[in-house]
């Protein structure tokens, strides 16, 4: 299918840069996207449909370009192109390794839970950056981001909807299924609080491959038309796992994902969704925040435990609450009991120690920096049965054995995983269980 | 081995119907344009369906002239759907087409749970049979009422009122004045599957979940008679 701009057409931008249309990439509700070149550089051009190309939208774009992207996880407007009354903006092209989220929802990619945790963390981080800069995104949905399923990095696009929070600018209300009930019912305008609601929906889709309000109430509707959608997502939204309202539980078979995923997760992870879709549902001030989602995604990442059955080996989650009451961890895939792992307890957060575990700067400093890896679980090269943690930081750590003997661990050296010992990372201390 | 439990996102079937007038007056350029345009949009419908986890898109076509016939016995998954060129000859027995449609929009064969069906009617002339009982029957069925109904008049202003009886909404009666219009309108109609099942971002303040009327192509005004 072709777009309205001709291939080969040349434009000069507002900063006098020349661009040439190379090919039509796709279209959406607001306009069309093209690949364009400027010299040897390739970019994407979003070209608005006439009814969206308003002078207000033009001013919003000018403001976005002046202020610049909050960080590198945004495909942010960079330059403006005008042609009579029509206009569009230039942004970076999506790198090919970044895919749409529908690839996951259709199960054409199969990331690990570890990657899902990183994706969730990075999505929350991106919107936290945007919100902390005073912007409201207005249209969080799975259609507006791209994901690298190999490393969990994300790219947030369609940032031309972003406007200063609580301003009257912008005309986008959101995407059906993601809009907060007060927006569906036309009672409020988009804000960072309604963004938080849409973020919770997006994260529920990511971790459950299901919508949090699609239970029995959706199942019994014959025709899912606009009136039915308004009822489910606006007038009478009921969280499928609402502890005080069981009227909308998922239907086995038809809504099986909701059941299969939910029962795997530790209680703290269920709690944040339950809060977001019960207390936070009609009370925008009580919605789960981006920072809470970041912490929770990291906590989930730290709870991953691998099934020790050689033929299975899938990821499971260690639920401290269940372990405390004597319930063991049973593998969801092969149904075998998984032996209790070694655990590092930092303040009140636990890290399950397994072959994939990295200790990050965040564990030492609580600063959400998970890119700087300061330690790694490794096998002792001289004794493969013995596991330890290698100090990958530039600091000297103090390792205290259960008997009280203190040993310095230089950068590049290991300390063994001995139950009852303590490691001092600097700001935080950790105990091995 | 799967790293995650479960399967793909639960979805609903979306039944999409092309209803094509193959009467003698469609002979020549009109039927050729219709064949070209529908064949041309199928790959785009397939691509859009691949990117839409909310729906399972099923397509069927019904032709009417002297009598009415389904081109396939069953609804076909868009991935396997191929357009078969139609030929024009005979009368315009649209009433028979409405009756066949009504048979298929009864439950069963329609499932208990689906997205609104999409019915796209393409015609260039007044029905030659008594069409009102068939249309009434179709519109009284629950799935008939809920269906998104769009009509494209092919070069004939005189049938717009009759087509409005089918759509129930003048804005959803499109008037193709030439073959370029017809191609654009069929292209737009093919996007209804996505609009109905996985609606895009909505402008603040409008009814949040409706067909985007802003995107309906306008007929060109070049005065060409077709």
pLDDT in tens, A94-126: 999 999 999 999 999 999 999 999 999 999 999
Cα separation, A36 vs A205, in Å, equals 33
DSSP B129: S
Across the range A163-171, mean pLDDT stands at 80
To the nearest whole angstrom, how far is the Cα of A365 from the nearest Cα of chain B?
32
Alpha-carbon distance values, A175 to A15, A31, A74, A94, B116 (Å): 33, 15, 19, 22, 19
Nearest to A353 by CA among A380, A378, A325: A378
Contact A348/A302 with Cβ under 8 angstroms? Answer: no
Per-residue pLDDT for A244 more than 50? yes
Cα separation, A29 vs A46, in Å, equals 12
Percent of the residues in chain A that have a pLDDT greater than 70, as a whole number: 100
Give the pLDDT confidence score for residue A151 in this predicted structure. 97
Nearest to B10 by CA among A429, A215, A328: A215
**Which chain A residue is nearest to residue B43, measuring alpha carbons?**
A1
Cα separation, B152 vs B177, in Å, equals 10
- What does the block give as tokens for B110? 């329609």
A305 pairs with which residues across the strands?
A316
Least confident of A63-72, A175-184, A201-210, A423-432: A423-432
To the nearest whole angstrom, how far is the Cα of B127 from the nearest Cα of chain A?
30
- For chain A, what is the mean pLDDT? 93
- What does the block give as tokens for A248? 């909308």
Per-residue pLDDT 10s for chain B (226 aa) are: 789 999 999 999 999 999 999 999 999 999 999 999 999 999 999 999 999 999 999 999 999 999 999 999 899 999 999 999 999 999 999 999 999 999 999 999 999 999 999 999 999 999 999 999 999 999 999 999 999 999 999 998 889 999 999 999 999 999 999 999 999 999 999 999 988 888 777 665 544 335 666 677 777 655 455 5
Give the pLDDT confidence score for residue B204 in this predicted structure. 56
- What does the block give as tokens for A345? 């307890």
Alpha-carbon distance values, A43 to A30, A146, A407, B213 (Å): 19, 16, 55, 31
What are A310-358's pLDDT values in tens digits?
999 999 999 988 877 877 889 999 999 999 888 999 877 889 998 778 9
Across the range A60-67, mean pLDDT stands at 94
- What does the block give as tokens for A312? 């299975």
A36 pairs with which residues across the strands?
A21, A43
Number of other residues whose CB lies within 10 A of the CB of residue A275: 17
Grouping H, G, I as helix, E, B as strand and the rest as coil, residue A35 is strand
Give the pLDDT confidence score for residue A325 in this predicted structure. 80
* Phi and psi angles of residue A400, each rounded to the nearest 5 degrees, phi first: -115, 115
pTM: 0.94
pLDDT band at A40 (very low <50, low <70, confident <90, very high): very high
Give the pLDDT confidence score for residue A421 in this predicted structure. 94
A414 pairs with which residues across the strands?
A390
pLDDT band at A27 (very low <50, low <70, confident <90, very high): confident
Percent of the residues in chain A that have a pLDDT greater than 90, as a whole number: 82
Contact B208/A176 with Cβ under 8 angstroms? Answer: yes
* Phi and psi angles of residue A220, each rounded to the nearest 5 degrees, phi first: -85, 0
CB pairs A-B closer than 8 Å: 143
C-alpha A320, offset from chain centre: 24
Q: Which residues of chain A are within 8 Å of residue B187 when distances are taken between CB atoms?
A: 1
Instruction: Return all residues near A298 (Cβ < 8 A) that are at least 6 apart.
Output: A117, A121, A362, A368, A370
pLDDT band at A164 (very low <50, low <70, confident <90, very high): confident
Classify strands A358-360 and A373-380 as parallel, antiparallel or unpaired.
antiparallel
* A105, A173, A256: residue with CB nearest B202: A173
Chain B touched by A202 (CB under 8 Å): no
Q: Which helix (H) or strand (E) holds A133?
A: none
Across the range A154-174, mean pLDDT stands at 86
To the nearest whole angstrom, how far is the Cα of B138 from the nearest Cα of chain A?
16
Q: Are residues B7 and A172, on separate chains, in Cβ contact within 8 Å? A: no
Cα separation, B176 vs B196, in Å, equals 23
Place of tokens 């069309």: A32
Mutate to test the interface with A, among B1, B3, B4 (most CBs of A within 10 A): B4
Across the range A397-416, mean pLDDT stands at 94
Cα separation, B163 vs A189, in Å, equals 38
Residue length of chain B: 226
C-alpha A267, offset from chain centre: 19
Answer whether the bond into residue B109 is a cis peptide, omega within 30°. Answer: yes
Give the pLDDT confidence score for residue A433 in this predicted structure. 87
Check residue A171 and give left, alpha or beta (phi > 0: left; psi -120 to 50: alpha).
Answer: alpha
Chain A touched by B142 (CB under 8 Å): yes
Nearest to A118 by CA among A313, A427, A356, A349: A356
Residue length of chain A: 433
Give the pLDDT confidence score for residue A195 in this predicted structure. 97
Q: Which residues of chain B are within 8 Å of residue A255 when distances are taken between CB atoms?
A: 10
Place of tokens 């345009």: B37
Strands (E), A165-308: 172-174, 304-306
- What does the block give as tokens for A282? 């009609």
To the nearest whole angstrom, how far is the Cα of A209 from the nearest Cα of chain B?
6
Nearest to A396 by CA among A384, A407, A411, A381: A411
Across the range A384-408, mean pLDDT stands at 92
- Please, is B35 exposed, middle or buried when counting C-beta atoms within 10 Å of its C-beta (0-12, 13-18, 19+)? middle
- What does the block give as tokens for B44? 């785009």
């Amino acid at each position: 299918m072709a777009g309205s701009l001709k291939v080969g057409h040349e434009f000069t931008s507002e900063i006098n840069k020349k661009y040439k249309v190379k090919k039509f990439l796709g279209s959406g509700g607001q306009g069309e996207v093209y690949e364009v070149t400027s010299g040897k550089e390739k970019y994407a051009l979003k070209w608005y449909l006439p009814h969206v190309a308003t002078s207000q939208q033009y001013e919003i774009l000018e403001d976005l370009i002046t202020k610049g992207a909050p960080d590198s996880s945004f495909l942010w407007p960079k330059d403006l192109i005008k042609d009579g009354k029509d206009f569009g903006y230039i942004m970076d092209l999506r790198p090919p390794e970044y895919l749409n989220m529908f690839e996951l929802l259709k199960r054409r990619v199969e990331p690990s839970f570890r990657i899902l945790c990183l994706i969730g963390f990075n999505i929350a981080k991106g919107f936290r950056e945007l919100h902390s800069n005073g912007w409201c995104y207005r249209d969080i949905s799975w259609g507006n981001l791209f994901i690298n399923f190999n490393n969990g990095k994300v790219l947030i696009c369609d940032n031309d909807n972003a406007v200063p929070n609580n301003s009257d600018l912008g005309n986008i209300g959101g995407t059906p299924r993601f809009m907060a009930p007060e927006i569906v019912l036309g009672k409020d305008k988009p804000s960072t609080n309604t963004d938080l609601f849409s973020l919770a929906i997006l994260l529920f889709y990511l971790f459950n491959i299901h919508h949090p309000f699609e239970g029995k109430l959706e199942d019994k509707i014959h025709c899912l038309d606009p009136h039915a959608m308004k009822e489910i997502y606006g007038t009478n939204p009921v969280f499928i796992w609402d502890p005080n309202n069981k009227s909308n539980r998922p239907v086995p078979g038809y809504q099986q994902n909701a059941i299969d995923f939910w029962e795997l997760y530790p209680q703290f992870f269920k709690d944040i969704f339950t809060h977001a879709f019960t207390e936070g549902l009609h009370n925008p001030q009580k919605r789960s925040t981006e920072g809470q989602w970041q912490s929770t995604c990291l906590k989930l990442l730290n709870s991953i435990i691998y099934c020790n059955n050689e033929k299975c080996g899938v990821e499971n989650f260690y639920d401290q609450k269940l372990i405390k009451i004597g319930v063991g961890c049973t593998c969801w895939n092969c149904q075998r009991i998984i032996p209790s792992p070694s655990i590092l307890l930092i303040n009140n957060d636990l890290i399950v120690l397994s072959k994939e575990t990295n200790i990050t700067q965040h564990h030492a400093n609580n600063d959400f920096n998970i890119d700087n890896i300061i330690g790694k679980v490794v096998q002792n090269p001289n004794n493969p049965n013995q596991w330890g943690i290698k100090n990958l930081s530039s600091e000297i750590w103090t390792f205290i054995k259960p008997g009280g003997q203190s040993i310095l661990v230089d950068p590049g050296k290991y300390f063994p995983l001995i139950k009852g010992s303590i490691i001092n990372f600097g700001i935080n201390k950790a105990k091995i269980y | 081995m799967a790293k995650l439990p479960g399967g793909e996102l639960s979805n609903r079937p979306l039944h999409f119907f092309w209803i094509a007038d193959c009467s003698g007056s469609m002979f020549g350029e009109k039927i050729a344009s219709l064949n070209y345009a529908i064949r041309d949009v199928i790959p785009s419908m397939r691509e859009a369906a691949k990117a839409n986890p909310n729906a399972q898109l099923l397509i069927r076509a019904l032709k009417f002239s002297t009598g009415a016939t389904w081109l396939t016995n069953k609804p076909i998954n868009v991935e396997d759907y191929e357009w078969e060129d139609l030929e024009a000859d005979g009368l315009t027995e649209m009433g028979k087409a409405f009756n066949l449609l009504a048979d298929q929009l009864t439950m069963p064969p329609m499932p208990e749970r689906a997205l609104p069906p999409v019915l796209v009617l393409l015609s260039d002339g007044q029905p030659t049979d008594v069409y009102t009982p068939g249309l009434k029957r179709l519109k009284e069925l629950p799935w008939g009422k809920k269906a998104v109904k769009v009509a494209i008049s092919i070069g004939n202003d005189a049938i717009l009122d009759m087509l409005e009886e089918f759509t129930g909404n003048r804005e959803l009666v499109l008037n193709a004045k030439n073959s370029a219009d017809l191609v654009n309108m069929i292209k737009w109609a093919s996007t209804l599957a996505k609009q109905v099942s996985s609606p895009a971002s909505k402008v603040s303040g409008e009814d949040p979940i409706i067909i985007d009327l802003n995107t309906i192509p306008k007929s060109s005004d070049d005065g060409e008679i077709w």
